[in-house]
């Protein structure tokens, strides 16, 4: 920043923008005193109008649908979505204000390209090199109120990376990356306002933020999905975790965080259960020795059972190999059912139904566990094999006699991306009466 600081003012005198208008030339005419290093802050609404992005839409919701790539969060009719420009915002940025009835304004098709065209147009008209920010209004997580943010940029340093520098006390800055383009957008909005009909502002005195090259554009401000800790709303996060819940049979060598598994267990034990009971127990096999002992003992039990069934050695080898996922997994969880609190009626039919209630509760707990593991970005495979040799499992793991192992869950980081899941039509599983 220069010693004099900086100035921000709105550009007066711009007429109503119509499709096909040369917006850069109109700005240059309205503000002919632009100089090198100025930053133009331009509301996306006038960019969209000039680019003919006003479309007929008697149904705004249909227009939002067409611009939506992914629903991030929904509350009633309000939707926060990722739009086709990669921006996360309410209603995909579709605007029904300041446009004729029966039409809506879409965001510019490519806001960074729009900013480059404006920059080139001003340079051609006035012979000056300016930076350009294209803005739109957005809400923010955890904060009330709206502010403008940069959705397009050209010739402006959109991010100012201060990592590695030191503060006034000599402390190194390890995480400070300033969103300068968003700060410029907000500064411009202070003088443009929302109701004054002033869609363009000029920021002067911040020449160090203006570059000769067009630069990365505002797309660089969009956080990568892998680094976004708040990618989804609550219900959408649950649905995505359900979608991510896939059977994984090949794991990488990356170690499993035991605390992540414990968080998944905390979710598992929120499952419904009969009579206010807690029928779940989870045995965590964190050491390689414990996993090997269990898998070897179960393998011997399976082989003995299969030989007793008269299976050939070739068939036995093939069937036993299915348990390799447990041997290869870096972490195992053995869910167990405990029927403390079950009612005993002295009637075979009712006692069988009572046990089934507890088995269903155990299954709900396992499902919660698998979904929560997916939410932790851990793959899993539920294998029912422990239920065929429960006595062996109890003996090897030193479990109480009333703990019923309900399979084993292999846990780890997937070695490869899962194949796309075939879509199942829910109507095929529904009967309405």
pLDDT tens, residue order, the chain (433 aa): 445 689 999 999 999 999 999 999 999 999 999 999 999 999 999 999 999 998 887 778 888 888 998 888 887 778 888 899 988 888 888 987 777 778 889 999 999 999 999 999 999 999 999 999 999 998 888 889 999 999 999 999 999 876 666 666 667 665 678 899 999 999 999 999 776 789 999 999 999 999 999 999 999 988 877 777 677 666 666 776 777 788 888 999 999 999 999 999 999 999 999 999 999 999 999 999 999 999 999 888 888 888 888 988 888 888 887 778 899 999 999 999 999 888 999 899 999 999 999 999 999 999 999 999 988 889 999 998 888 899 999 999 999 999 999 999 999 999 988 777 788 888 999 999 9
d(CA 421, CA 243): 9
Do 247 and 217 have their domain in common? no
Indicate the SS3 state at residue 155. Answer: coil
Report the CATH number that the domain containing residue 189 is assigned in CATH.
Answer: 3.30.1330.100
Do 223 and 240 have their domain in common? no
Do 121 and 252 have their domain in common? no
**In terms of residue numbers, what domain contains 33?**
7-53+107-227
For residue 196, what are the contacts with CB-CB under 8 A and spacing of at least 6? 10
**pLDDT given at position 7:** 95
**pLDDT given at position 237:** 67
Q: What is the dihedral of CA 358, 400, 395, 319, to 10 degrees?
A: 10
Do 299 and 277 have their domain in common? yes
Indicate the SS3 state at residue 361. Answer: helix
Do 173 and 25 have their domain in common? yes
In a domain, 75, yes or no: no
Do 44 and 147 have their domain in common? yes
Do 310 and 345 have their domain in common? yes
Do 161 and 295 have their domain in common? no
Question: Two tokens at 297?
Answer: 């003992």
Do 24 and 164 have their domain in common? yes
In a domain, 98, yes or no: no
Do 253 and 353 have their domain in common? yes
In a domain, 73, yes or no: no
Pairing outcome for strands 404-405 and 331-337: antiparallel
**pLDDT given at position 73:** 81
In a domain, 2, yes or no: no
Do 287 and 391 have their domain in common? yes
**pLDDT given at position 184:** 96
In a domain, 221, yes or no: yes
In a domain, 382, yes or no: yes
Domain termination site, one of 159, 192, 227 = 227
**pLDDT given at position 305:** 84
In a domain, 205, yes or no: yes
Number of domains in the chain: 2
**pLDDT given at position 1:** 44
**Cβ atoms of residues 119 and 96 within 8 Å:** no
Q: Within a 13 Å sphere around the CA of 301, how many CA atoms are in the beta-carbon half?
A: 19
- Phi then psi for residue 298, to 5 deg, are -65, -35
| Sign (positive or negative) of CA dihedral 335, 340, 343, 347 | positive
Do 294 and 239 have their domain in common? yes
**pLDDT given at position 167:** 66
Separation in Å, CA 262 to CA 259, 333, 338, 404: 5, 10, 19, 20
Helices and strands (DSSP H and E) totals, the chain: 12, 17
In a domain, 102, yes or no: no
Place of tokens 């007929």: 56
Q: What angle do CA 325, 282, 370 make, to 5 degrees?
A: 55
d(CA 80, CA 91): 6
Domain termination site, one of 209, 227, 245 = 227
Place of tokens 């000056």: 128
Domain termination site, one of 211, 227, 243 = 227
Report the CATH number that the domain containing residue 381 is assigned in CATH.
Answer: 3.40.109.10
């Amino acid at each position: 920043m220069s010693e004099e600081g900086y100035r921000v003012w709105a550009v007066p005198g711009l007429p109503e923008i119509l499709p096909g208008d040369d917006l850069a030339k109109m700005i240059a005419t309205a503000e002919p005193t632009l100089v090198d290093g100025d930053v133009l802050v331009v509301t996306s609404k006038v960019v969209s109008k000039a680019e003919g992005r006003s479309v007929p839409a008697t149904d705004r919701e249909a227009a939002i649908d067409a611009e939506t790539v992914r629903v991030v969060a929904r509350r009633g009719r309000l939707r926060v979505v990722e739009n086709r420009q990669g921006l996360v915002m309410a209603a995909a940025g579709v605007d029904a204000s300041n446009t004729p009835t029966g039409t809506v304004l879409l965001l510019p098709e490519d806001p960074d390209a729009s900013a480059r065209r404006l920059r080139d147009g001003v340079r051609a008209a006035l012979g000056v090199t300016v930076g350009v920010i294209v803005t739109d209004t957005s809400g923010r997580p955890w904060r009330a109120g709206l502010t403008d943010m940069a959705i397009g940029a050209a010739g402006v340093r959109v991010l100012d990376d201060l990592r590695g520098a030191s503060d006034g006390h000599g402390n190194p800055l390890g995480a400070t990356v300033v969103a300068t383009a968003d700060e410029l957008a907000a500064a411009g909005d202070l003088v443009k306002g929302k109701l004054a009909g002033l869609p363009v502002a000029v920021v002067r005195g911040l020449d160090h933020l203006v570059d000769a090259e067009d630069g990365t554009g505002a797309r660089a401000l969009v956080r990568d999905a892998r680094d976004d800790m708040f990618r989804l709303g609550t219900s959408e996060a649950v649905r995505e975790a359900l979608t991510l819940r896939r059977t994984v049979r090949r794991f990488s060598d990356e170690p499993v965080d035991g605390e992540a598994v414990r968080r998944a267990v905390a979710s598992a034990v929120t499952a419904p259960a009969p009579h206010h009971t807690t029928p779940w127990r989870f045995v965590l096999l964190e050491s390689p020795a414990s996993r090997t002992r269990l898998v070897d003992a179960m393998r011997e039990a399976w082989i003995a059972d299969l030989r007793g069934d008269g299976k050939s050695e070739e068939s036995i080898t093939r069937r036993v190999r299915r348990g390799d996922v447990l041997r290869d997994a870096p972490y195992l969880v053995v869910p167990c059912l405990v029927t403390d609190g079950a009612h005993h009626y002295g009637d075979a039919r009712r006692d069988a139904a009572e046990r089934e209630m507890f088995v269903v509760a155990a299954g709900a707990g396992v499902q919660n566990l698998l979904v929560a593991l997916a939410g932790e970005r851990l793959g899993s495979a539920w294998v029912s094999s422990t239920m065929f040799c429960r006595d062996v499992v109890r003996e090897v793991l030193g479990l109480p006699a009333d703990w019923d192992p309900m399979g084993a869950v292999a846990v780890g980081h997937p070695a490869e991306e899962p194949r796309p899941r075939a879509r199942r039509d829910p109507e095929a599983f529904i009967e309405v009466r």
